Amino acid sequence: MVVSPADKSEFGIAFALLYGGEPGAPSQDAAEAFQLMARGELDADKLLVARSGGTVVGTVLFERLPGAGAVVWPPRAVGNDPAVEDALVAAAIDRAAGAKVLQTFLPPELVELGAPLKRAGFKHVTRVWQMHRAVGTTRGRPVSDLTFEPYSECSPAEAQDVLVRCHEDSADCPELQGIRTPAEMEAGYRDAAPDPARWWVARQFGDPVGVLILGDQELSFVGVVPERRGQRIGRALVEAACAISPTLNLIVDARNAPAIQLYRSTGFDVIGAREVFLRLPDISAGALPKKDSRF
């Protein structure tokens, strides 16, 4: 058995395996993925296939992400052959060498597809809620002396410092605490929210107390430094985001009860869920030290 990138002639059977359906009548997801690959918008080197005797017997898809991350879609093998699945996951991990965070998000009804990932060292760490807010009104009172400064106008050291501190002791995927450097954290958010005009540092009495990052109708990140939590600053940041973009989507760790309560109270509703699998190597040089994680 040999694992290598798929040839264009193998896209049909590979995506049919990944997403269901037949090569000649693929599912909608398979058809969309095929079109992306055919247009060159999805690198063909990211689609690996296992061949036995010249026949495709399995496939896996992975993608490197800015910010030292990578996504691995669960492998699929003809007959659900564990040996083929394990070889595919191993090949994807090898090609993602250097990534500090390997992740997979699965709908709850497909969580069993994560079994090959778990055999390769991934852990099923949590569920995240997908939340949506339609146009509505906010009900909070403004926080006195809270101002917003464009992130790009802060000194790079100060901006990175407050971004890092906003992640400390957070209940949103605490497993990632200390894995990435400040620059890698920034790069990850820039991928989701590339417009620098939609990044802000919140200040109170001149002190940096929080960060707000908006993508295209996405609340990409909102955080408050640990020593200022519980003072309604987080609510003020969420309400500011809603005032800028009345229709918003976000993803929140199901374990983060205070954040979920805040989002619900500002008009967000749960519209979906994903199961999160992570594979984390040892902390690399330059990363932050791990801390106990609690909200």
C-alpha dihedral sign at 131, 278, 191, 293: positive
pTM of the full structure: 0.86
> Does residue 54 come out as left (phi exceeding 0), alpha (psi in the -120 to 50 range) or beta?
left
CATH number of 133-272: 3.40.630.30
Domain boundaries, the chain: 2-121, 133-272
Enter the tokens of residue 11: 């896209």
Contact 217, 192 (CB under 8 A): no
Residue 212 one-letter amino acid = L
- CA–CA distance, 113 with 106 (Å, rounded to integer): 8
Range from 23-37, 50-64, 259-273 carrying the lowest mean pLDDT: 23-37
Q: What is the pLDDT of residue 13?
A: 85
Question: How does strand 69-72 pair with strand 123-133?
Answer: unpaired
Give the mean pLDDT of 281-287.
Answer: 49
Asked whether the predicted pLDDT for residue 290 surpasses 60, the reply is no
Give me the pLDDT at residue 233, please.
Answer: 94
pLDDT value of residue 145: 84
- At 2-47, the pLDDT tens digits run 999 998 888 888 888 887 754 444 445 545 555 555 555 556 678 9
Residue for token digits 């109708």?
217
- Superfamily for the 2-121 domain: Gcn5-related N-acetyltransferase (GNAT) (3.40.630.30)
pLDDT for 138 equals 55
pLDDT tens per residue across span 177-208: 889 999 999 999 999 999 999 999 999 999 99
* Whole-angstrom distance, CA of residue 221 vs CA of residue 235: 13
pLDDT of residue 115: 96
Same CATH topology for 2-121 and 133-272? yes
pLDDT in tens, 100-156: 999 999 999 999 999 999 999 999 999 999 999 987 655 555 566 899 999 999 999
Report how far residue 221's alpha carbon sits from residue 200's, in angstroms, rounded to the nearest whole number: 10
Tokens of 268: 């967000």
State residue 56's pLDDT score. 94
pLDDT digits (tens, 9 = 90+) for 202-250: 999 999 999 999 999 999 999 999 999 999 999 999 999 999 998 999 9
